[in-house]
Structure 1
Amino acid sequence: MSTPWYATWFNTEFYHDLYRHRDEYEARLFIVELCRKLGVQEGERAMDMACGRGRHAKVLSEQGLQTLGVDLSPESISFASQFKNERLEFKVGNMLEALDFGAFDWVMNLFTSFGYFDDDGLHQEALNHMAHSLKPGGKLVLDYMNSAKIAAQLVPENVVQTDMATYSISRKIENSIIVKRIKVSHECTLDFFEERVRAFSKDDLHTMLVNAGLEHVQVKGNYDLSSYEELDSERMIFIAQKPLS
């Protein structure tokens, strides 16, 4: 069986270089606003599922949450572990496997860290695992791209130049999957990578969250938690609650 694209691409320095603009300032604004509007209480437990190098988890802990960052990549967890403190820890974990980290008041899956599998049954399984990790009354926050806007405004090709490399990027939609192919030119060598993210609609994700046993599903349209507009909003940010009983 071949290695999934995300297990390869996310472990490269090229990935972190290409997306270096996703800075901690943006993460901080989103998390602070989220905690304020959702009534997050100091001392509650939060899991940042697919935490990457820990930028969101770090800010969650600074809001007073006992935070666990979980990611598939040992390299990312190793990097994030430099931020560990009494309110923040990191562990390697896979959303496709049962998560044995205890029960949480909040489970966060942020910055489109979902939608990577070829089989939609696996997406449902991942959401089931996240929902199972919630305490009764706990909430799941799923931050996803707005597929409708991306499809309507898809940029077929562009080139990104950084100090490290030149990235030639092509995009297209294949069978409801947004496919991004990335050619990396670096020190007279070429490397090729691919991203494949399912173009879930708002209704798709709403149904999957309900099927995971969650209720009171809301959707917001951006990091300021403004209302969702199908062709205008930058994001689909779902907030769903585990029943009290």
Structure 2
Amino acid sequence: MSAAQKTTTTNQDQTNETWFSSWFDTPYYHILYKERNDKEAQLFMDNLTHYLNLPEKAKVLDLCCGKGRHAIYLNQLGFDVIGADLSENSIAEASNYSNETLHFKVHDMREEFEEKYDAIFNLFTSFGYFENDDDNLTTLKAIKNSLTEYGFAVIDFMNVNQVIETLVPEEVKTVDGIDFHLKRYVADGHIFKEIDFEDQGHKYHFTEKVKALTLQDFETMMEEAGIYLLDIFGDYKLKKFHKTESERLILIFK
């Protein structure tokens, strides 16, 4: 952990790191979100792979895989899986589950892969983090160029309209004895979450910042990237997308 993160005036903007490279690489990120529903994630993978009708032993890339919960389950379903993430700590932990058909690597999602994949999954709102909006288009092009001729890609993003409508401005979440003070707001076309907490005598501050991308925004970028949008779903059961009601914005493209 960097010295800047240990001081009482921690500010990510004062470091050379981006908010996501510093925050996602700390153990506190995983503590705060430890209650994530694995059953729901597995149901989503079941529904998604069935819908895509992927061939047996298909090569699948879990892009921004974190500690690998989706990648591990996809491998259990019989696929040849690579999990890729920018966080070295997450990849180190995920690599404990590696086998002949499951591997993990540190990778920046803006860079295309040499190997081509039958499916690329970008899950749980792991998009729209960059300061430069052009990097979002660069990422889409990298995904497109990393697919096989008949491959599919999936972006599982938040439904911005629903998130903004139901935004909780402030709350305190206590996890593992740590009180996380959360403040949420919308500014400059982004959704922000300020995270403040204290642990072992140190005060910490992190900021999550995600571009408030709508379906129309994705459609515009995909058209520019030469991507064909095949289908749109609104939740992990693959129900139809509704602009104001759906929890998720799930995009299937090639």
TM-score by length of 2: 0.91
Identical-pair percentage: 36
Which residue of 1 is the match for residue 45 of structure 2?
Answer: 31
How many angstroms does 1:226 deviate by?
Answer: 0.3
3-state SS, counterpart of residue 105 of structure 2 = strand
**Aligned match for 1:130, one of 143, 146, 171:** 143
Which residue of 2 is the match for residue 141 of structure 1?
Answer: 154
For 1:228 and 1:238, the matched residues in 2 are separated by 10
For 1:81 and 1:173, the matched residues in 2 are separated by 36
For 1:186 and 1:43, the matched residues in 2 are separated by 44
1:196 aligns with 2:209: yes
For 2:224 and 2:71, the matched residues in 1 are separated by 27
Alignment of 1:1-245 (within 5 A): 2-100=16-114, 102-241=115-254
Q: Deviations over 1:12-54 (max 9, x none)?
A: 1111010001132222111011111221221111101111100
> How many correspondences in the alignment?
240
How many angstroms does 1:87 deviate by?
Answer: 1.6
Say whether the 8 Å CA contact 1:156–1:172 is kept in structure 2.
yes
Say whether the 8 Å CA contact 1:61–1:87 is kept in structure 2.
yes
How many angstroms does 1:2 deviate by?
Answer: 2.0
Say whether the 8 Å CA contact 1:222–1:236 is kept in structure 2.
yes
The amino acid of 1:130's aligned partner reads I
For 1:77 and 1:207, the matched residues in 2 are separated by 32
Say whether the 8 Å CA contact 1:206–1:217 is kept in structure 2.
no
How many angstroms does 1:105 deviate by?
Answer: 0.6
How many angstroms does 1:61 deviate by?
Answer: 1.0
Which residue of 1 is the match for residue 11 of structure 2?
Answer: none
Q: Deviations over 1:107-130 (max 9, x none)?
A: 110000111012211100011111
For 2:203 and 2:75, the matched residues in 1 are separated by 39
Query: 5+ residue gaps in structure 2?
Result: 1-14
For 1:119 and 1:97, the matched residues in 2 are separated by 15
Say whether the 8 Å CA contact 2:222–2:229 is kept in structure 1.
no
